[in-house]
Chain A
Amino acid sequence: MRSLSSKFRRIAMLRERLDGEYVVDCHTHIGGRSSIYHLPDSSTEDIVAEMDRIGVDLAITFSFAGITSDYAYGNDVAAEAVRMFPDRFIGFALVNPHYHTEMDSELERCRQMGLRGIKLISHYQKYPIEGPGLFPAFEYAHEHSWMILSHDWGPPEYLDRLAATFNNACFIVGHYFAPTYAEVVTKRENVYQCTCAALNFGDVEAMVDSMPADKIVFGSDMPDLPLMFSLAPILFARISDSDKRKIIGGTARSMIERWPGNAA
Chain B
Amino acid sequence: MEDLGFFDAHCYVGRYKTFRAGSFYTTEALLEQMNHFGIAEALVTHTMSRELHPVDGNAAVLDETRSRDNLHPSWSMLPPRSGELPSPAALVSEMISNGVRAARLFYGAYGFSISEWCIGGLLDELEKRRVPTFLDPDVELDTWAEDRLDWDAVDALCEGHPRLPVILSQARFRSSNRLLYQLLERHSNLHIELSGLWAHHAVEFITREFGANRLLFGTRMPVRDPACAIGQVAYADISEKDKRLIAGDNLRTLLGGVVL
Contact = CB atoms under 8 A, between A and B. Distances in A.
Interface in B1-59: 1, 20-24, 36-38
A113 to B, nearest CB: 25
Interface string B175-219: 101100100000000000000001111111100000000000000
Contact of A12 (B21, B205, B229, B230): B230
B129 interface: no
Interface stretch (A86-94, A139-147, A199-207, A243-251): A199-207
A200 B36 contact: no
A199 B228 contact: yes
Closest 6 CB pairs of A and B: A232-B231, A202-B22, A228-B231, A223-B200, A40-B205, A232-B227
A15 B235 CA distance: 6
B159 interface: no
Given A12-B234, A36-B175, A201 B223 contact: yes
B163 interface: no
Contacts of A39: 200
A202 B225 CA distance: 7
B21 A202 contact: yes
Nearest to B205: A40
Given A37-B174, A225-B199, A203 B204 contact: no
Given A54-B235, A206-B21, A12 B200 contact: no
B210 to A, nearest CB: 12
A42 B200 CA distance: 8
Interface residues of B, number: 37
A223 B200 CA distance: 5
A223 B234 CA distance: 17
B73 interface: no
A229 B173 CA distance: 14
Given A200-B224, A201-B20, 9 more contacts: A38-B205, A39-B200, A40-B200, A54-B235, A199-B228, A206-B22, A224-B200, A228-B231, A233-B227
23 contacts: A12-B227, A36-B175, A38-B205, A40-B200, A42-B200, A200-B225, A206-B22, A223-B200, A225-B199, A226-B201, A226-B231, A227-B200, A228-B231, A228-B234, A229-B198, A230-B228, A231-B231, A232-B227, A232-B234, A232-B235, A233-B231, A236-B225, A237-B227
B232 interface: yes
A18 to B, nearest CB: 10
B63 interface: no
B201 A42 contact: yes
B21 A233 contact: no
A241 B224 CA distance: 22
A84 B199 CA distance: 25
A62 to B, nearest CB: 15
A27 to B, nearest CB: 13
Interface residues of A, number: 41
Given A201-B22, A201-B223, A233-B225, A41 B205 contact: yes
Contact of A199 (B37, B225, B235): B225
Contacts of A205: 22
Contacts, number: 119
Contact of B235 (A36, A225, A228): A228
Interface of A: 4, 12-16, 36-42, 50, 53-54, 198-206, 222-233, 235-238
Contact of A229 (B20, B36, B222, B232): B232
A204 B225 contact: yes
Contacts of A15: 1, 234-235
Nearest to A204: B225
Nearest to B37: A236
Contacts of B200: 39-42, 222-227
B225 A226 contact: no
Contact of A226 (B22, B181, B202): B202
B199 A200 contact: no
A225 B228 CA distance: 10
Contacts of B230: 12, 232, 236
B149 interface: no
Given A201-B223, A222-B200, A229 B229 contact: yes
